[in-house]
Chains A and B, each alone.
Chain A
Amino acid sequence: MSSSSSAIELAKPHGGTDGKGAARSLGRRILWLLLQIGRIAVENLVVFITTTLIVFALIRSIPGDEALWSLGPGAAAPEVESVGHTRRTDQSFLRQYSSWVYATLTLNLGISSGFPNAERIKFGTWVTCSLTLGAILVVVLIGVPIGLASGLYPESWLWNQVSFLVYLVSMVPIFLLAYASFFFWPFPPVLTDIDILVRLNPQYSETYLYVAIFSTMAIVLAVGDGTITELVRAVREEVGRIADSEFIRAVRANGGAVWKHLARNLLVPILTVLNLRILYLLGGAVVVESVFEYPGLGQLTVEAVKDREYGLVFAITVVSVLLVLLVTVINKFLILFLDPRARD
């Protein structure tokens, strides 16, 4: 099929190895695909329901009446009742759970602190996703070269110490890394208020300022919490495994490009590591957004917990669980697509 297969793959017989390669009809293949998709959907649905049930049970176990709290101590009883009915806090466990999930999925979340919650969640999701993608880019840009060098020169003192140093730096708390980044802050001591920054630095355009802040946040998020260390470890392992193998030696003997084969073999470990670390990245985004006052999902969660808006907390949890499950499924399919060994 693809002309750039590796030597090992070309040596395998085409199709399946069970002797039924050419005999599977199109219909059976489509049925198998649908079964697989159904199986994945059911598994993820079960995980989603269990996780959100646990979070909902936690929220529901908080003592006190939420409606009374949000309205204040002097509220009249009919108001408390109506707010309770709107927020469904006066219903049974399962009813409240299902109505909250339905409200979240249909983005019917009401208003708090002057802004419609659905808008805040949508905007926050977009912001946090872009920040996480930027952090992933930084992780790959920094981690892959270090891992490559460590793997190609495993006895080298320099690269071992560099990876150890990266590991130590990554164990520093993220907010301290953010403070450290302020030492390289080229702007006056105004954190991230773009309007004020633009006024105080007329020589820079707004885009430049925004990109500078965003890249600082992405770097801080990438370095913190040990994502780069995991990536370096995985890349080093894979390079160490491959660099001495026969087909690389064959390519080198033919004078071909080794980097292409290395790169294609590195994609799978990188995707695996990113899949494992997405949770840590989202957790780190909470802290980074709090320090830089960046309006993402993390800061939204912090504010919601501070203001005791548990409906919003539940909605954010639902959104983040959906995100994580989506990323996991996409990751699994990408690995299936890229790595022929995984197609068993």
Chain B
Amino acid sequence: MLATVYTDRRDGGIWYRLVRSGRLRGILNVVLGSVLVLTLLLPYLANMASFLDVSADPKPLERLQPPDWSLLALWLDNRPTAKSEPGNPFATRPRARPETDANGSPRAFHPLGTDSAGRDLFSYIILGAHSAFLPGLYAVFLSLGLGCLFGVLWGYYGGWRSSLVQAIIKIVHSIPRLFLLLVVGAASNFGIYSIMTALGIVSFPKISELIRGRILSLEKQEFITAAREVGMGDLAILVKHILWYNCRHILFIQASFGMADAVLTETTLSYLGFGAQASWGQMVATGDDYLFNGELWASAVPAIAVVMTITGFCLIGDGLSRIFKLKS
């Protein structure tokens, strides 16, 4: 019997291996996604509103002001002052906006402009994050919890429990999601947490399918039998060995995608008018009367916020799935 030689199966340096396997792309995606998400959620999370001096009071005298960094504002502020010469085509153009208020205090600075009621959009976006973040987190946890429960019932135990789960999933799969969310919203007077409960219930089948697939692929290994022989209870085996050791990565990835889905659904519902009050979708809906007049920022600023958040969460989920080498 020849002695076996231990060889190190590494075909390249660390950077070569990271790039080739796509894990560097995964790390980049996660970092980029986190940057996008934190840009919007950090002021809300850290309660930086007072630090940034934001207030979302409507000021009708300042309605539909363009962003103060835009070319339009520059043009408005820097147009030539009145020249008294008659016949001069550029004469007698008063400055568009006074430097001071009627009370003498300086005009407020709107970094992202104001909407049709005069609310500062920058502040309103930070305040609008509250209707997307915590309810979305709640929907994600609910769908993960239900998905774990039903996935385990489906995959670990067979028999009538699995048939019951299949029947429940078939029922959940037979009604269009937005219809159900509209009905639940109407039933609960559009409470955002009720709508997010319904969203969590509608989203759990996918997670339970994934967990069931993972359990089925783990059944052939002997650690489950070994743990049972040692005397571990079923619940401990499920929670520790199966869910925490083997399905953790699936749950994190589905949490990111679920958060993206929750923000997307909440924005769509509040765009239609059913949902939280101060929300990005509602801001887009209010601003869309002015799209064709060229005042794009009233709708575009919350739209960019929404796209940043959703893309951020998607990038995080996609990056995690590349890092853990799941099928993306």
Contacts and interface: CB of A to CB of B under 8 A. Distances in A.
B314 A325 contact: no
Interface string A118-151: 0000000000000000000000000000000000
A283 B176 contact: yes
A287 B175 CA distance: 16
Residues of A contacting B: mostly:
helix
A50 interface: yes
A310 B186 contact: yes
B292 A279 contact: no
Interface string B249-263: 000000000001000
Nearest to A46: B167
Main SS of chain B's interface residues?
helix
B171 interface: yes
B299 interface: yes
A321 B173 CA distance: 10
Nearest to B187: A58
A182 B292 CA distance: 9
Given A171-B314, A173-B306, A316 B179 contact: yes
B274 A305 contact: yes
A287 B183 contact: no
Contacts of B303: 176, 179
A62 interface: yes
A334 to B, nearest CB: 18
Contacts of A301: 179, 182
Given A171-B311, A174-B268, A305-B274, A320 B288 contact: no
A325 B174 CA distance: 7
Q: Indicate the member of B183, B307, B310, B311 with the most A CB atoms within 10 Å.
A: B183
Interface in B86-129: none
Given A179-B291, A287-B272, A317-B183, A324 B176 contact: yes
A176 B306 contact: yes
Interface in B240-281: 260, 264, 267-268, 271-274, 281
Nearest to B22: A160
B284 interface: yes
Given A287-B178, A324-B176, A173 B186 contact: no
B272 A173 contact: no
B175 A320 contact: yes
Interface string A58-98: 11011000000000000000000000000000000000000
Nearest to A43: B170
B18 interface: no
Interface string B185-199: 111000000000000
A59 B179 CA distance: 13
Interface string A232-270: 010000000000000000000000000000000000000
A47 interface: yes
B175 A173 contact: no
A55 B180 contact: yes
A51 interface: yes
Given A282-B179, A316-B179, A59 B187 contact: yes
Contacts of A58: 183-184, 187
A59 B174 contact: no
Contacts of B83: none
Contacts of A204: none
A155 B218 CA distance: 29
B17 interface: no
B59 interface: no
23 contacts: A43-B170, A46-B167, A47-B170, A48-B174, A51-B175, A55-B180, A55-B183, A58-B187, A62-B187, A167-B314, A173-B264, A173-B271, A174-B268, A233-B327, A279-B173, A282-B179, A283-B178, A286-B176, A286-B179, A286-B182, A287-B272, A305-B183, A321-B174
Interface of A: 43, 46-48, 50-51, 54-55, 58-59, 61-62, 164, 167-168, 171-176, 179, 182, 189, 233, 279-280, 282-284, 286-287, 290, 298, 301-302, 305-306, 308, 310, 313, 316-317, 320-321, 324-325, 328
Interface of B: 167, 170-171, 173-180, 182-187, 260, 264, 267-268, 271-274, 281, 284, 288, 291-292, 299, 303, 306-307, 310-311, 314, 318, 327
